[in-house]
Structure formats: C-alpha cells, structure tokens
C-alpha cells in the first residue's frame, strides 16, 4: 500500500480482500445489467455555470476538470526535473533495408545523488526532414518492436512473460521482434512518419514498489511512498513521455509540432493523461485503454474502478480508491478526460471481443466528449449510434472498433495513419467507390447486378463478370541472374515501375470495352506463359510471409485505379513455382493474413480473392496450398474477414473438390486444355450438379482458347451457360512485344489481333 501509516490488521485484510476480489470479481458483460447513471455534462461547471464558448472552457471548465483528475485520479507530480544530458548511443542510415534512419538516444536524469535513464528508439524515413512522429511506450523492450539486431536490450525490470522473452524479470534476446505486428514499423515509415518508442519499465517499473523508477527522485526527507493525492505509475509514465518530448524538441529530424502520443491498454491510459497534461502533443491515440482510460467508469462494464485499484494499486493516486464500487459518486467521467485534450485531435479505438475494456463505454466517452470539440468548430462523433465493425470515424474525435480482442493490429495502425494524414498533413482520406458483392449466382457492384437487364442472343448476361488474366501488373524479378530476361525492347532493361504505370494507363480502355475484372497476383504467374521451372523470383512475400512494401505499393495503385473505374480485382496470392520461397506453413498463413490485412487496412471493397492459382498443380511445395488442404486457407480467411469473397482455382478442365466448393463464395475454374467449347458447357453443368454447390457465381478466370470470330467458342459457351469467362493470352513462339498479357515485358495496350478479338467480343456481348 502507498499509505505510510497502516495497521498490520488492515494490511492482512487488504491482502485477503484483494485476492478475494480478483478471484471472485464477476464483470458485467451484458448491457441489460449496466446500472442507471447520469453522464456529467462537460459544458456545465461544478458550480452549475453553462459553458458557451472556448474562452469559458479554457478559463473555467478545463482548469477545474484538470484539477479534479489530477488530485483524485492520476495524482500530482510533486516537482520538476529537467534532462541532465542526452546522447545518441547508436545510429544508422541503413535501417529497414535502407528506407529509414535508426537512432537510439539515452536520456539521463540526475537529482539528489540518484540517476535514471531511458532509451528512445527512433526510426525516421530516409532523407526526410522535420517529419511528424508517433511516440509511445512499449511493453517488452525496444528490441521487441522490430526484428533488428542493432536495437539495444534494456536492463530494466520487466514483468515476467516467457513468450515475450522476459525471464526472472530480465529482458532477453528471445524477445527481439516479438511485438513487430503491433508496431508496424515499415508501414509507419512508408507513410512518411517517424516512430519513437521507450520501454516503460525504464521510467517506472510496473510493480507496486515506489522505491525504484522515477518516484524517489521527488521524495521529501523520510518519504517512501507518494502522498494520497500524488502520482501513481500512470502519471509517472506520462511524465516520461513529456521528457521524451523535451528531447524531441531538440531533434532537427522531427517536427515537434506534429508529435502524436500513442498507447495501448495501460499505456493507452498513459497516452491520454500525457495528452491532457502536456499540450505540446499534437494528437493522442488511445488503443483499448478501458477503465481509467477512455471507457466510462459509471457503466461498470468489464473492468471497474474497484477491480483496477485492487489489482494494480500503484497505477493511480490513492484518492481514486474513494470510488471503488462507488463510481456513482464520481462528479466526472472519462469523456471529460477526452474533452480536456480539445481542440487537439484524439483517437479512441476498441476491439469487438475486448469486453474487459468496454468497447461501447469507450465509444460513448468519445461521443460525450464531442461538445467540447464543437466549441472550437471541430467535428467529433456525430451520433450516439455505435458504428459497425471496421467503419472508422476519422474526425477530430475519432473512433473505430475492429474484430478480435485486446491488442494492436495492422488495421489499427492503418486507421491511425489515415487519421493523422487528415488532421496533421491535410491529406485526403481514400474513400472507395466500387463495392463488389454476390447475390445468388450474380455479381453486384454497388448493390446493382452487373450489366443490369442485359441479354445477348437470348442469353442473360446480367450479373456476369467478364475478366482477363493480367497477373503481371506488379511483376518484378528479385533474382539478379534472371532479371535481364525481361528487358524492354526499347531501353534494354527491366523496369517494374514502368510496367505498373503502363498497366494503369491501359486500364480505362479495357473498361471502355466492357471488361469488368482482371486477375492479378502477388506471386505472379510464369513470365514466359508456360514454364517447366521458375528460377526467377516474382514474389511479394519475404520468407516469413511479410508483404514486401514495393509490391504492395504497386498493387495499391492498381486497385485504386480499378476502384475509380468501377472494376473488380481478382487478387491471387500464391502461384506454384514461387510458393517454396516461403519458409514454412506458418509463413504461408502469415502471407495470407498480411494480404487480408492489406486489403482491409486500405479499405478496398472491389477486391475478391483467389487463394492460389491451380492449387491441384503438382508444382506446389507447401502442403497447405495443395488440393487436399487449400480449403483450410479459405476457411482461415473467412474467419478473419467474413466480408471478403474468397475462392481458389484448379488446373484447366478440372472440377473443384466438394470441400472447396462448400466453403467458397464463388467457384473458379480454368479452361486451359479445353479444346472443345462443349466441354466448357459441361464443366459448368458439372459444378452446378455437385451436392456442395449452392447458387453462387461460376467464373473462368483463365482460358487460352480464342476463335472469337467463330459463332461457337469457349467464351460464347461459358456465357450461354451463365458463367463468367476470362481471357489468358501469352506471347507464343516467334511473337513480338505487342502479343500477350502474360509474357514479360508486357504491352498492356490492346495491341494485337488476339487482344482486339477478345475485347471486341466483350464489347459485343456486354456493351453494344
């Protein structure tokens, strides 16, 4: 306990009750059990005065609210302490494969014979100046945020966690990179932001012991614990963030006017308090901060004031215990904590399954904080109706809730970056225009069937998705021994950016002819058309399944252009001959997850997934991609992102297995090797006769048969059987640059007789 005078009997009683409360505490997880309570009006002072403008807010209401939270919740900081010195102890301009500068800065404090230091790990975009920056604490050491062997390992005390590499309260090499998914360092750098992070245990260890960390630096003679209105650990951590800000103001690589303070869970409570007490922070992010953070205390949903004070008695001022099981007596609530940040932007994020943190309570807190922002003409949460999953509100008061539980995900960071772009860099936020969906056997775009009401020669074509195989749109070859094979005839060298730029330039003409979709792959198909071996590396994934940013950037430009044109992207993930470049099955699953995250994080609604091209091909080395197990990956995606439409394809002429059809949203088949158009009709009929088939679209997205000038061909028969058909064209023997869409380098224009034949047929069936 923090009180200096306390009887042994009370100590024993507290220990007993603490254990009893933790073991017997039953949280409220049902809205019907939330007690009745009144929301304190942020715009009415304690004396009853109505606050009508920002001047009154700053002169009357803000000071009294800040004083209450300081004295009764987080605690007073009992003095001032400036940085004694700081030193850059390590740096490199070749971090993150050359895209960033890494800097490790030791910040030192001396007072009364005591010394404390903490290390700030920083990543800054290469060759950038005055960058905006995210600043936040990490849980498991700076070395945990990224798998970088140069990051120093802290010697500070850590809470034991074997899976995070903390044993006997010591951080170890085992923890290197264990939190990389929660920090998304490359994504932050690619967006043009810097990142600074500190191990929270260096400022104040997360334990009920006030004889280490920063607290003893401020004790009066004989004092061993903070007074009842003085700071707990959360306020100490907030103090540390302000001292980091003192350093950042001296760092010429950083735009100190655009430092956004971030925190998750208990560190999200910290970021909020830091943002309230230090107005130098330009914005504040609270991720799953829950009780004592963004969630309304009076709801008593999930974790409560009593539960948090019993479990973590060192976090808050002792005065806060007056409200244990007594939240109704609080004259304030956490929405007023958020209001104290106004007019600076604040982002509150929740997770659907994180009931302990009370997602609805966090949302309502953001909603009820909005009137304070309105005083400054700022937009907040417009309605008390909670938005759906993955439907962020990116105003000055921002909010989202995502699927899954307590943690920080790539989706969270994508929203934070979009919000920061809008609020600090004044960048436009991408809003998708094209939403693809399925209703029975029909494809819909923006809620309407494709080619609504259209027939062709007595056959219905409404709801079909004419497509072409354009898999090399993001092609590159990472093998220096083979890359010269793909040189352009005019420049005599390969250029991945030129390839994508010319792809995008050609897309409007495809769309004008009626093409509504194209297949494009992260692991591209053979750049020779058909190949026995694939020594080249056309692969968007690192061996561990991480999505390579250069591929992702090129794909993003293509998908956005497709969205603008009203086109659907059939996004392929794996291709035989390239899948073995992933180190193991876990890497395959990681590649799938990273692809899904990439789609969701970008907000794309015009993408449907082909997990693998021809998963029954014997060239696949990863067992989970093969015919017998590919359905597992489809189910994995459906569980992770149920809104995505998913399927996988099989060799030309093959019928998908029952277990694949059963779990797919649409059926993908290939016409390669099918020389008789009647077989195309038969394949469609066979699929529809499968016991596992239910009304869903059937799509050929690869067929290398043409004869478009003949009355009967594969395209025509697929259309008459009410199946979408896809064109596959490669450069044949002795043909030149203008031929084919599969062979690299590609002329993406409608530049050959075969291409003209296909596009003219599309136009005839769907447009003319």
Active site residues: 265, 406
CA distance 175 to 185: 16
Contact indicator for 366, 338 with CB cutoff of 8 Å: yes
Token pair, residue 248, equals 């950042």
Nearest to 183 by CA among 116, 291, 263: 263
The alpha-carbon radius of gyration of the chain (Å, integer) is 30
| Residue position matching structure tokens 């070859």 | 477
The helix/strand/coil state of 622 is coil
Task: Please say whether the dihedral angle defined by the alpha carbons of residues 499, 505, 508 and 510, taken in this order, is positive or negative.
Answer: negative
What is the Cα 492 distance to its own chain's centre? 39
Nearest to 527 by CA among 700, 730, 673: 730
* DSSP code string of 69-128: HIIIII-B--S-----EEEEEEEEEEHHHHTEEEEEEEEEEEETTEEEEEEEEEEEETT-
* DSSP code string of 547-613: BPHHHHHHHHHHHHHHHHHT-EEEEEEEETTTGGGS-SHHHHHHHHHHHHHHHHHHT--SEEEEEEE
Give CA angle at 257 (256, 258), nearest 5°.
Answer: 90
- Pair type for strands 667-669 and 646-647: unpaired
Beta bridge partners of 547: 541
| Residue position matching structure tokens 């048969």 | 705
Cα 659 to Cα 431, 507, 633, 651, 662: the distances in Å are 36, 36, 12, 17, 5
* Close Cβ partners of 17 (under 8 Å, ≥ 6 residues apart): 310
* Close Cβ partners of 440 (under 8 Å, ≥ 6 residues apart): 695, 696
């Amino acid at each position: 306990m923090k009180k200096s005078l306390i009887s042994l009997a009370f100590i024993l009683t507290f220990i007993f009750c603490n254990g009893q409360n933790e073991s017997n505490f039953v949280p409220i997880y049902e809205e019907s059990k939330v007690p009745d309570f009144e929301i304190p009006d942020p715009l009415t002072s304690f004396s009853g005065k109505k606050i009508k403008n920002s001047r009154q807010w700053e002169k009357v209401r803000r000071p009294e609210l800040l004083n209450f939270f300081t004295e009764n919740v987080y605690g007073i900081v009992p003095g001032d302490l400036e940085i004694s010195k700081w030193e850059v102890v390590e740096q490199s301009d070749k971090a993150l494969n050359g895209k960033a500068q890494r800097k490790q800065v030791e910040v030192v404090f001396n007072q009364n014979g005591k010394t404390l230091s903490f290390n700030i790990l920083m990543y800054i975009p290469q060759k950038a100046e005055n960058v905006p920056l995210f600043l936040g604490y990490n849980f498991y050491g700076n070395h945990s945020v990224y798998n970088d062997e140069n990051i120093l390992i802290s010697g500070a005390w850590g809470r034991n966690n074997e899976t995070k590499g903390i044993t006997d309260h010591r951080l170890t090499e085992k923890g290197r990179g264990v939190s990389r998914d929660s920090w998304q360092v490359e994504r932050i750098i690619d967006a043009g932001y810097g990142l600074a992070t500190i191990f929270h245990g260096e400022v104040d260890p997360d334990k009920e012991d006030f004889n280490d960390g920063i607290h003893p630096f401020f004790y009066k003679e004989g004092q061993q614990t903070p007074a009842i209105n003085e700071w707990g650990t959360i306020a100490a951590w907030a103090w540390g963030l302000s001292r980091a800000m003192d350093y950042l103001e001296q760092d010429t690589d950083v735009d100190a006017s655009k430092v956004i303070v971030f925190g998750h869970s208990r560190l999200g409570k910290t970021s909020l308090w830091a943002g309230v007490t230090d107005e130098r922070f330009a914005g504040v992010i609270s991720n799953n901060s829950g009780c004592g953070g963004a969630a309304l205390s009076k709801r008593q949903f999930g974790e409560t004031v009593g539960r948090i004070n019993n479990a973590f008695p060192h976090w808050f001022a002792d005065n806060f215990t007056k409200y244990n099981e007594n939240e109704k007596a609080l004259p304030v609530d956490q929405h007023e904590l958020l209001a104290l940040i106004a007019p600076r932007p604040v982002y509150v994020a929740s997770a659907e399954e994180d009931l302990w943190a009370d997602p609805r309570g966090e949302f309502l807190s953001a909603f009820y904080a909005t009137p304070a922002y309105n005083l400054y003409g700022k937009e907040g949460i417009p309605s008390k109706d909670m938005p759906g999953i993955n439907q962020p509100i990116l105003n000055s008061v921002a909010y989202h809730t995502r699927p899954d539980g307590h943690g920080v995900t790539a989706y969270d960071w994508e929203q934070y970056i979009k919000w920061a772009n809008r609020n600090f860099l004044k960048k436009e936020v991408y809003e998708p225009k094209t939403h693809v969906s399925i209703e029975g056997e029909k494809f819909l775009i923006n809620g309407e069937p494709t080619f609504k009401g259209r027939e062709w020669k007595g056959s219905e074509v409404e709801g079909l998705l004419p497509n072409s195989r354009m898999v090399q749109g993001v092609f590159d070859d990472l093998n220096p021994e083979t890359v010269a094979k793909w040189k352009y005839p005019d420049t005599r060298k390969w250029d991945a950016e030129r390839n994508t730029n010319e792809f995008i330039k050609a897309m409007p003409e495809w769309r004008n002819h009626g093409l509504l979709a194209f297949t494009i792959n992260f692991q591209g198909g053979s750049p020779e058309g058909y190949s026995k071996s694939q020594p080249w590396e056309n692969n968007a994934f690192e061996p561990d399944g991480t999505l390579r940013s250069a591929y992702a950037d090129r794909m993003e430009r293509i998908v956005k252009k497709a969205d603008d044109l009203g086109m659907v992207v059939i996004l392929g993930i794996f291709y035989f001959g390239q899948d073995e470049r992933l180190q193991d099955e876990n890497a395959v699953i990681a590649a799938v997850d990273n692809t899904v995250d990439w789609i969701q994080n970008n907000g794309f609604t015009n993408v449907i997934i082909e997990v693998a091209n021809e998963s029954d091909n014997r060239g696949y080395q990863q067992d989970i991609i093969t015919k017998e197990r590919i359905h597992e990956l489809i189910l994995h995606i459906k569980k992770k992102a149920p809104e995505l439409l998913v399927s996988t394809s099989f060799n030309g002429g093959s019928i998908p297995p029952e277990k694949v059809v059963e779990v797919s949203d649409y059926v993908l088949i290939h016409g390669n090797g099918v020389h008789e158009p009647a077989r195309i009709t038969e394949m469609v009929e066979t699929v529809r006769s499968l016991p596992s088939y239910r009304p869903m679209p059937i799509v050929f997205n690869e067929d290398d048969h043409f004869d478009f000038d003949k009355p009967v061909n594969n395209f025509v028969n697929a259309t008459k059987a009410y199946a979408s058909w896809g064109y596959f064209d490669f450069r044949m023997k002795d043909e030149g640059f203008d031929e084919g869409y599969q062979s690299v380098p590609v002329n993406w224009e409608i530049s050959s007789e075969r291409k003209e034949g296909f596009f003219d047929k599309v136009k005839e069936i769907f447009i003319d």
